[in-house]
Amino acid sequence: MPIEVNGKSLETDEEGYLANLNDWVPECATVMAALEDQELTESHWEVINFLREYYDEYQIAPAVRVLTKAIGKKLGKDKGNSKYLYELFPYGPGKQACKYAGLPKPTGCV
Amino acid sequence: MAMLHTVNKSPFERNTFDSCISMAKSGSSVLLIEDGVIASLKGTSVSDKVSKAMESVTFYVLGPDLNARGMTDDQIIDGIKVVDYEGFVDLTAEHENVQAWL
Amino acid sequence: MSEPWEDDVEGPVKKFMFINRKSPYGTVYALESLEVVLITAAFDQDVSLVFSDDGVFQIKKGQKTDGIGMKNFSPTYRALEGYDVEKLYVDKESLDERGLTQEDLLVDVEILSRAELADLMDEQDVVLSF
């Protein structure tokens, strides 16, 4: 089902992931979050931006365990743990945050 | 009339390249594409074979396929000409016939 | 019921070896192998990668795929460290035949002889060939 972002209709797959990585603008995250009744705080954006950078460098969406470890390294131990990330993204930090960041579903995600 | 041969397999993996040069007549052309571009690399264990074939056959290599595999124009055997997709089309048009070795 | 953020109970760990023998882009083997490696690593298995024959081109520096309209997946090999996949081996003979050295590769690897690779292969529980 396509989503409406800045007056443009963007293609997504059946799970709501952007069909075209290059379509992503920050408003995509806001729109996707609203569809799941979620409000995005600074803390959410920190993770979303981190994922964008990770993808830019490695061309993949990281598995949750890898994301958690990498966040810990970059943003500190209090944020690099599953509990913190699950509280921000209750549908799973891998799946949900990657979706908001416009990335594909993480490889190895079950 | 001159024939254009294309080779799309690595000389390390298949004997496609050997079959091609064993049948490419003097004055014909060979264009290396896809994994075939590996034959154009300088300083490999097959580059002497390629250089020898170049005595009677003109060699071309498809630049985009070369770059995709992390190779640049200065890493290939001297005398092999790099072409882009337009050059590929031109070669096809210039030659009487095309034999695609697979 | 455990909370979603609690780690699953540890399962058995097996030694997996992936043998990569094909150049990237010409066939889909290299990309498929990389995907399976990432999945295997996500399941906390003991993963080794071997690059031999034309497989050494998978980790060649400077890949630029704009011209062929395919995704350049070579940066992903540098993400393997974050997945705790740190056993990367390259067959020396394959490098030599292609006029390549460690300098040409985009990740740190251990360069081994075929005899040493054969010993490593012997130690594995599972060997997957691509």
CATH (domain of B19): 3.40.1260.10
pLDDT value, residue A110: 47
Residues of A in contact with C71 (CB under 8 A): 59
Question: Position C19: which residue type?
Answer: I
pLDDT value, residue B81: 98
Q: Which chains touch B (3 or more CB pairs under 8 A)?
A: C
pLDDT digits (tens, 9 = 90+) for C5-26: 555 557 899 999 999 999 999 9
pLDDT value, residue C7: 57
pLDDT value, residue C2: 54
Residues of A in contact with C70 (CB under 8 A): none
Residue C114 to residue C130: CA distance in whole angstroms: 17
Q: A83, C5: Cβ pair inside 8 Å?
A: yes
Q: C99, B43: Cβ pair inside 8 Å?
A: yes
Residue C47 to residue C86: CA distance in whole angstroms: 8
* Low-confidence residues in chain C, pLDDT < 50: 1
Distance from CA of B1 to the nearest CA of C (A): 31
> In the block, which residue shows the tokens 């997504």?
A12
Number of CB pairs < 8 Å for B and C? 74
Enumerate residues 6+ apart whose C-beta is below 8 A from A35: A3, A16
Q: Which chains touch C (3 or more CB pairs under 8 A)?
A: A, B
The answer to whether B39 contacts chain C (CB < 8 Å) is no
Which residue in chain B has the smallest CA separation from C72?
B68
pLDDT value, residue C1: 45
DSSP conformational letter for A98: H
Which residue in chain C has the smallest CA separation from A54?
C79
pLDDT digits (tens, 9 = 90+) for B26-36: 999 999 999 99
Which residues of A are part of the catalytic machinery?
A: 109
pLDDT digits (tens, 9 = 90+) for C43-53: 899 999 999 99
> Number of folded domains in chain B?
1
ipTM metric: 0.91
Domains within chain A, CATH numbers bracketed: 3-100 (1.10.10.370)
pLDDT digits (tens, 9 = 90+) for B35-84: 999 999 999 999 999 999 999 999 999 999 999 999 999 999 999 999 99
Residues of C in contact with B63 (CB under 8 A): 67
pLDDT value, residue A105: 85
The answer to whether C79 contacts chain A (CB < 8 Å) is yes
Domain enclosing residue B8, as ranges = 3-101
DSSP A51-78: HHHHHHHHSSPPPHHHHHHHHHHHH-TT
Which residue in chain C has the smallest CA separation from B45?
C97
Strand partners, C88: C49
Q: What is the mean pLDDT of each run of 10 residues along chain A (110 residues)?
A: 91 92 94 94 96 96 92 93 94 92 77
Q: Which of C47, C46, C56 is nearest to C21 (CA)?
A: C56
Domains within chain C, CATH numbers bracketed: 15-129 (3.40.1260.10)
